[in-house]
Amino acid sequence: MNRHPLTYGICTVFIIALGLLSRTAYITALLPGIINAYLGDALWAAMIFTGFGLLFRHIRTETAAFLSLSFCCLIECSQLYHAPWIDAIRSSTLGGLILGWQFVWSDIFAYTLGVCAAALLEWAVKRNRQPSS
- pTM listed for this prediction: 0.86
Q: Helix 33-55 to helix 61-78 angle, to the nearest 10 degrees?
A: 120
Q: How far apart are CA 28 and CA 77, in angstroms?
A: 27
Cβ pair 50, 61 in contact under 8 A:
no
pLDDT of residue 56: 93
Quickly state the pLDDT bin for 10 (edges 50, 70, 90). Answer: very high
The mean pLDDT of the chain is 91
pLDDT of residue 68: 97
